[in-house]
Homo-oligomer: A and B are copies of this chain.
Amino acid sequence: MECWNVGILVFENVEVLDFAGPFEVFSRTRLVPGVESRRSEDSAPFHVFTIARTAEPLTATGGLRLIPNYAWSDAPPIDLLVVPGGFGTRVLRNDAETLAWISSVATSARKVTSVCTGALVLANAGVLDGRRATTHWASLDTLAGLRPAITVERGPRVVDDGVVTSAGVSAGIDMALYVVERLFGSDVANETAHYMEYVRTATAASSTPTPIPG
């Protein structure tokens, strides 16, 4: 069975739900329905890990303490990149090493995604040029001001224009379920939502689904 490596970027002052929502969705997705299938990795289509510049412990917004699963230098190849947001993106989006790393991963990954103000980091890495994108409602004007080549969408929770961006914080759950649906179908996405008791809202009102490289 095909298994996607999902790398979720973490950093100082990353917003907790921004990374934890997609982590939950991707790590709990199974191709076999029900609860019991989720106790093993047998039908898991994703291998999910957190990744940071180094593997040193870091502190998320609110004081949650994390240990990244991998440093950039020792991580497996990333098929699906998730860039979450949070107050830490104010530093991150102007950090040349981070932008270079994202730009490099984006050229080899099969799909690049963001949650909340993670879009501002993707923008500065040049990944959103020529595309429609969204971000947290309080940062829509900032995103519009960063790069004129980005068309900012102010309504939908999820925008898919090749790169998949989402609105703020909890919209990352919808983004992840949307990606699951695109890759493995609505039954698999809906079973995952059912397991999580998550009520899916109308997602991806702005979607131009592009082929995902096999």
Interface residues of A (CB under 8 A from B): 15-17, 20-21, 23-24, 27-28, 35, 39, 48-50, 57, 61-69, 87, 136-138, 157, 167-171, 173, 195-199, 201
Q: Check if A39 sits within 8 Å of B87, measured CB to CB.
A: yes
Classify the secondary structure of A's interface with B.
mixed
Q: Check if B21 sits within 8 Å of A50, measured CB to CB.
A: no
Q: Chain B residue with minimal CB distance to A61?
A: B27
Residues of chain B within 8 A (CB-CB) of A138 are: 35
* Given known contacts A137-B197, A197-B136, A66 and B69 CB-to-CB distance under 8 angstroms: no
A sample of 18 more A-B contacts (CB under 8 A), given A17-B20, A169-B195, is A16-B20, A17-B24, A20-B21, A20-B24, A27-B61, A49-B63, A64-B66, A64-B69, A65-B66, A65-B67, A65-B68, A65-B69, A66-B66, A137-B197, A168-B196, A168-B197, A170-B198, A199-B199
* Given known contacts A87-B39, A196-B17, A199-B201, A67 and B69 CB-to-CB distance under 8 angstroms: no
* Given known contacts A170-B173, A173-B170, A64 and B23 CB-to-CB distance under 8 angstroms: yes
Most buried by B among A62, A136, A169: A62
Q: Chain B residue with minimal CB distance to A170?
A: B198
Closest Cβ–Cβ distance, residue A158 to chain B (whole Å): 11
Most buried by B among A21, A24, A66, A67: A24
Closest Cβ–Cβ distance, residue A63 to chain B (whole Å): 6
Closest Cβ–Cβ distance, residue A54 to chain B (whole Å): 14
Residues of chain B within 8 A (CB-CB) of A61 are: 27-28
Q: Check if A62 sits within 8 Å of B169, measured CB to CB.
A: no
Residues of chain B within 8 A (CB-CB) of A169 are: 24, 195-198
Residues of chain B within 8 A (CB-CB) of A68 are: 65
- In the complex the two chains form, what is the Cα distance from A45 to B16 in whole Å? 18
- In the complex the two chains form, what is the Cα distance from A49 to B62 in whole Å? 8
Q: Chain B residue with minimal CB distance to A10?
A: B64
Q: Check if A48 sits within 8 Å of B23, measured CB to CB.
A: no
Q: Check if A28 sits within 8 Å of B66, measured CB to CB.
A: no
- In the complex the two chains form, what is the Cα distance from A28 to B87 in whole Å? 12
